[in-house]
Amino acid sequence: MKAAANPRPGFSASPRAVNAAAIVIVGGAGFIGSNLADHYLSQGRKVIVLDNLSRPGVIDNLRWLQGRHGDLVRPIVEDIRDPVAIRSAFENACAVYHFAAQTAVTTSLAKPREDFEINALGTVNVLETVREVAPEAPVIFASTNKVYGNLTELELQQIGDRYMPLDQATSRSGIGEDQKLDFCTPYGCSKGVADQYVLDYSKSYGLRTAVLRMSCIYGPRQFGTEDQGWVAHFLIRALRGELISVYGDGRQVRDVLHVSDAVTAYSTLLEKIDLAQGRAYNLGGGPENAVSIQIVLREIEALTGKSLQVEYGDWRAGDQLYFVADTRRIQHALGWAAKVGWRDGLRNLHDWLVDSDIVRLAGARQRVSA
């Protein structure tokens, strides 16, 4: 999330007063944020979308929300690194979701100070602002499985096209919240710091905070890149007939979760915040939706009907060979469970991409070049 020097045309340049209480979604024009905003707006709720609109595609997400919901959407184009600029966005908040972040490990390695200022300091700015102007508003933070480090102590075996834990309990259920925190890479450190600050503001100040440590979320309105959002990125590249780069051997395993299930988890957590206050929950597709990169590539090949061009490169810093979330804590606490199987979810994302300008515009450019 980079500072926006000039506000985008058509959007508010600074926070404006909102008479009625609203849900504030920080990073609300992003992938998960815009889907969550649509969920609440469809119920007639007022939503403040606080975003600096620095990521590619997020302006389209905001325009999509405004086209669907009109004045219920209150866009505020500001950066969370500026506590003065964001202050009035929270003055009438009834709840706060915090998704805004620098999300790429590669960027954090190249620009660790910027990564820290956005993810760690930016989160403290959000927490302090809520504490000062809306202390009754719950704050729910989007954390990451990277707070557990690269999990090098996890003993793995290679089974065909995937890595699997030797420990049978981990193989059956995944990795739980009792896994020790072990921040790795500047990104892991900055998100881990933010994760812990959010939890501590419940202990130290009594704010109703909670954390979801996410595995791989995918689905419509995701403009994936090589550094973040790999499922959408692979599909976009495949549909465009472009080369797909895989770092490592493609046997690394993740539990993928469709964004509709993620939205349900976030909204349910808010409903039950008094039970969940001060807790962190792992959020992912669980063992039922655990797939390797190689498996996903084969499914994409079947969906697109195209032979994929794939190149393999060196492993990247901090990459986990295996992460599957043990979701039993969130299931027991909130009654939540993933509903969308990964193949159906991938097909849903494929169909959305086919119908979107992402692929059509790329195809037009290719035809002109030819």
Mean pLDDT of 117-133: 98
Residue 359 pLDDT grade (very low, low, confident, very high; cuts 50, 70, 90)? low
Residue 120 located in a structural domain:
yes
Predicted confidence at residue 19, as pLDDT, reads 43
* Cα 43 from chain centroid (whole Å): 22
Any domain includes 335: yes
Whether residue 78 lies inside any domain: the answer is no
In a domain, 7, yes or no: no
* Domain that includes residue 167, residue range: 101-365
| Structural domain count of the chain | 1
Q: Is the pLDDT of residue 8 over 90?
A: no
The answer as to whether 57 is a domain residue is no
The predicted structure's pLDDT at residue 360: 60
Judge whether 84 lies within some domain.
no
CB neighbours of 299 closer than 8 A, spacing ≥ 6?
Answer: 343, 346
CB 174 within 8 A of CB 255: yes
Q: Cβ distance 209 to 198 under 8 Å?
A: yes
Residues identified as active-site = 187
Q: Exposed e or buried b for every residue in 102-131, given b needs 16+ CB within 10 A?
A: bbbbbbbeebeebbbbbbbbbbbbbbebbb
Name residue, tokens 């807790």: 279
Helix (H) or strand (E) holding 205: helix 185-205
DSSP per-residue codes, 115-183: HHIIIIIHHHHHHHHHHHH-TTS-EEEEEEGGGGTT-TTS-EEEETTEEEESSHHHHHH-B-TTSPP--
Q: Is pLDDT above 70 for 76?
A: yes
pLDDT attached to residue 318: 79
The predicted model scores a pTM of 0.91
Q: Is residue 9 one of the residues assigned to a domain?
A: no
Read off the CATH number of the domain in which 335 is found.
3.40.50.720
Residue 6 lies in a domain: no
Would the pLDDT of 3 be above 60?
Answer: no
In this prediction, residues 86-106 reach a mean pLDDT of 95
Look at 150 and 317; give whichever has higher pLDDT.
Answer: 150
The pLDDT tens digits for 62-73 are: 999 999 999 999
pLDDT over 80 at 364, yes or no: no
Selected residue with higher pLDDT from 302 and 366: 302
The rounded radius of gyration (Å) of the Cα atoms in the chain is 20
pLDDT greater than 60 at residue 156: yes
